[in-house]
Amino acid sequence: MLEIGTMAPGFTLTADDGRAVSLSDFLGRKVVLYFYPKADTPGCTKQACALRDAYGDIDAGDAVVIGVSPDAPAELVKFREKYELPFVLLSDPDHRVAEAYGAWGEKKMYGKAYAGILRSHFGVDEEGRLAEVSVNVKPLTTADLALRMVSL
């Protein structure tokens, strides 16, 4: 489990627009990093739209939002455009970044266990250190956590 105050695991992933995005690109700004299982599913849509609706306040707090899922970039483009999401979505198809953050693990549905994304929220401060760590969050919780983080 990652601990508050430690350096956030670095990464470079492909964004919905095809460019390579690294966590280090955002040094000097707060980062709201969230992991979600699958684009355009009910819970993930609620989570993304709550962040979209709070984005003005998050941006005013000099923070950026980054969403990460195993979806392919083409699926992320559709999701971002459909819901007019003003933040970057990153593709983590081999879930290596999710694993580094502890956002990949055992889930259960209908009595069957399987491995997948654990809906999670991480706050990264301007120096690249973890300011918040929340795994297994509810879809609407991420926006509240993001707003709390930008007020710190």
Which active-site residues does the annotation give? Answer: 44
Please count the helices (runs of H) and the strands (runs of E) in the chain.
4, 9
Element at 37 (helix H, strand E) = none
d(CA 70, CA 95): 6
On whether the CB atoms of residues 70 and 57 are closer than 8 A, the answer is no
d(CA 120, CA 104): 9
On whether the CB atoms of residues 32 and 147 are closer than 8 A, the answer is no
Nearest to 109 by CA among 41, 55, 10: 41
> Are β-strands 112-117 and 104-109 bridged in parallel, bridged antiparallel, or unpaired?
antiparallel
